[in-house]
Chains A and B, each alone.
Chain A
Amino acid sequence: GIQVEQSPPDLILQEGANSTLRCNFSDSVNNLQWFHQNPWGQLINLFYIPSGTKQNGRLSATTVATERYSLLYISSSQTTDSGVYFCAVEGWGSNYKLTFGKGTLLTVNP
């Protein structure tokens, strides 16, 4: 099946710093989503982005499907951005099933 690798596995920032999280995938995808899992365990949809660029406030994401990677940008980070960020992809022909990466644990210190 399709493989999903996220980097870095851990990231520590000071409040106000910017960061870039990366997601590499091993095959063509029909769907790609970024999630934030907050410290209470809730999964929050950030972006549905199989290709192109989207922005939502301080967060933006870019997927280059032909090169099989996606980037999540967090600008002016806040302590509430802490948590685990997951990338999940749906391979072509996988019948809408998502394969998750192992996530990036982000800690934003005040």
Chain B
Amino acid sequence: NAGVTQTPKFRVLKTGQSMTLLCAQDMNHEYMYWYRQDPGMGLRLIHYSVGEGTTAKGEVPDGYNVSRLKKQNFLLGLESAAPSQTSVYFCASTPSLRGFYNEQFFGPGTRLTVL
């Protein structure tokens, strides 16, 4: 049971390049999330998904797109990277079962630098 994994761990992009971050979870969780963390700040929600085939915007969605084609995977895309997107990106998942513990579990993070 690997929990939540993220690929890649590190990446350097040039302004205008595109890339996709992959999040995978093997806990059969319904809900998945993408957060970003900037220096001195807590995590802020970018997008989230309440189930396979569904996505929704979070607090800071501009410049990002997401897809959830399979329940276990949640992809975060940057179509045209900007220096303001330099950050550490965390993925999380939760079972989201009514009446049960809905603790969020986090992946190890992806450190992205945009030059």
Contact = CB atoms under 8 A, between A and B. Distances in A.
Nearest to B88: A41
A98 interface: yes
A31 interface: yes
Contact of B104 (A4, A33, A42): A33
Contacts of A90: 102
Contact of A98 (B50, B104, B109): B104
B36 to A, nearest CB: 11
Contacts of A43: 90, 106, 109
B41 A102 contact: yes
B58 interface: yes
For the side of the interface on B, what is the size category? 20 to 34
Contacts, number: 54
B62 interface: no
A96 B31 contact: yes
For the side of the interface on A, what is the size category? 20 to 34
A100 B43 contact: yes
B105 A45 contact: yes
A48 B42 contact: no
B74 interface: no
B108 interface: yes
A86 B21 CA distance: 24
Interface string A52-91: 0000000000000000000000000000000000101010
20 contacts: A1-B59, A31-B103, A33-B103, A42-B109, A43-B109, A45-B103, A45-B106, A48-B101, A86-B43, A90-B102, A95-B48, A97-B45, A98-B33, A98-B43, A98-B45, A98-B92, A99-B45, A100-B42, A100-B44, A102-B42
Interface of A: 1, 4, 31, 33, 35, 41-43, 45, 48, 86, 88, 90, 95-103
